[in-house]
Amino acid sequence: MDQSIQEKARAAKEASRVLYTCSSAKKNSLLRAIIARLRSNTQHILDSNAEDLARARENGSSNVLLDRLTLDEKRIGQMIKGVRDVIALYDPVGRVIERVKRPNGLRVEKMRVPLGTIGIIYEARPNVTVDAAALCLKSGNAVLLRGGSEAIRTNTTLVKIIRMALQDVRLPPGCVEFIDTTDREAVLTMIAQDRFLDVVIPRGSQQLIRFIQEHSTVPVIAHGEGNCHVFVDRSADLRKAEEIVVNAKVQRPSVCNAAEKLLVHKAIAQKFLPRVAARLRTAGVEIRGDEGACAILTNAVPASEADWTKEYLDLIIAVKVVGDLGQAIDHINRFGSHHSDAIVTGTKSNGEKFLREVDSAAVYVNASTRFTDGYEFGLGAEIGISTQKLHARGPMGLVELTSTKFVVHGTGQIRK
């Protein structure tokens, strides 16, 4: 197995040198070929996904995992739209982003270049296979994929389809390699391929991400968990706040940009909490509250200390009554995951203070946290949402999959 994975990494590295020289037109023709192949193989994808779902149900998988695993014609259509969106984006590779002329006549430029060969480790969501491939290929990177065992049949089918498209446009199959074993030892072998992989991007549970960070000899860009907050300020439009909270929690609770915590200013808690709680309970949400919230919501379950740091990915929300904006910001910075956090307020200065002082990858005024997404931010499909600060932060699109190099033009200068 070790040799097989090493050979896949080596093949990806060799293919990355071909991709490095590809024009934008060539890469876009490849993406169009992927779209055509996805469309013509839709039923094959659905059949493979049905096999994965059947096995997941037999294994007693949660509704959250089943939702992440499920593909239907609508979601396949969304994958195709994601690839089409990537085609429409400008190609960052080769772009000069800085230019300066030195006193000695040297012209020094900074140019965007592909990262090279990217390893992506992910769980459950088979749409990541297509999203990751599209973004990596458009940005000139080869990719080695390792999906979760629960989606092995779907991912295998999707990679075969992508490799058909590579063949259609006469690019090496190594541009997209896939580790098709469910053996967990494969991950350890993959993250030791520092000779061939330039970066590893893990997507999934915090246990997976921490494991990768602790054991990888390849640089890691981590996709962080989403313990996201909505704070309803005393000056908030309560109707607007209600809609934002319900959307952020209920629209798709199994994703990392769903709200897990609700903070409410004490001045409006008595009026706001019963009305928003009624909407949340109608949607099946379990409410856990601090002492202040439980005093108002008699059906709320008392929250434990562990609740404030927990990412539920389920129809559960923890509610806290806070004294002021500063207390809300302190709570978010202390207990949050630095992913996505929102304030609902009618006071401009409070909104600006929240944006400035909350230390998260995405911060919002009067909008749902559900917008933290590559599609919604105009990046096309995303490779992940980084909550770390080096290289990339927030949704990672094409630009975040490039590095830079200095390009220096001279006329015979020598250093004295």
Residues of the chain with CATH 3.40.309.10: 228-371
- Predicted local distance difference test score (pLDDT) of residue 235: 97
C-alpha closest to that of 138 among 222, 220, 26: 26
The answer to whether 177 and 8 are in contact (CB under 8 A) is: yes
Tell me the CA end-to-end span of the chain in Å, nearest whole number: 54
- Mean of pLDDT values over 261-273: 98
Q: Convert 366-376 to b/e letters by CB count within 10 Å (16 or more is b).
A: bebbbbbbbbe
Does the structure show a pLDDT above 80 at 295? yes
The CA–CA distances, whole Å, from 41 to 35, 47, 78, 161 equal 10, 10, 15, 8
Question: Distance between CA 46 and CA 37 in Å, rounded?
Answer: 14
The answer to whether 219 and 199 are in contact (CB under 8 A) is: yes
Does the structure show a pLDDT above 70 at 296? yes
Question: Distance between CA 234 and CA 213 in Å, rounded?
Answer: 41
The CA–CA distances, whole Å, from 363 to 67, 378, 389, 393 equal 27, 16, 15, 12
How confident is residue 55, by pLDDT bands cut at 50, 70 and 90? very high
CATH 1.10.8.60, applies to 228-371: no
- CATH C-level class of 2-221+396-409: alpha beta
Question: Distance between CA 151 and CA 122 in Å, rounded?
Answer: 10
CB-count exposure of residue 414 (10 Å: 0-12, 13-18, 19+): exposed
How confident is residue 254, by pLDDT bands cut at 50, 70 and 90? confident
Does the structure show a pLDDT above 80 at 416? yes
- Predicted local distance difference test score (pLDDT) of residue 382: 77
Residue 234 DSSP label: T
How confident is residue 225, by pLDDT bands cut at 50, 70 and 90? confident
- Predicted local distance difference test score (pLDDT) of residue 1: 58
- Mean of pLDDT values over 363-368: 98
Does the structure show a pLDDT above 90 at 360? yes
- Predicted local distance difference test score (pLDDT) of residue 150: 93
Question: Distance between CA 339 and CA 23 in Å, rounded?
Answer: 35
- Predicted local distance difference test score (pLDDT) of residue 70: 94
Question: Distance between CA 53 and CA 38 in Å, rounded?
Answer: 20
- Predicted local distance difference test score (pLDDT) of residue 374: 82
Does the structure show a pLDDT above 90 at 383? no
Question: Distance between CA 189 and CA 277 in Å, rounded?
Answer: 48
- Predicted local distance difference test score (pLDDT) of residue 268: 98
- Mean of pLDDT values over 381-396: 85
Question: Distance between CA 39 and CA 337 in Å, rounded?
Answer: 38
- Mean of pLDDT values over 372-393: 83
- Say what the pTM is: 0.84
How confident is residue 146, by pLDDT bands cut at 50, 70 and 90? very high
C-alpha closest to that of 360 among 385, 341, 346: 341
pLDDT digits (tens, 9 = 90+) for 176-214: 999 999 888 999 999 999 999 999 999 877 788 889 999
What is the Cα Rg of the chain in Å? 23
- When mean pLDDT is compared over 28-37, 115-124, 368-377, the highest value belongs to 28-37
Residues of the chain with CATH 3.40.605.10: 2-221+396-409
| Mean pLDDT value across the chain | 94
- Mean of pLDDT values over 391-401: 90
Compare 66 and 263 and report the one with higher pLDDT.
263
C-alpha closest to that of 121 among 220, 17, 239, 242: 220
Which residues pair with residue 275 across a beta bridge?
A: none
- Mean of pLDDT values over 377-392: 82
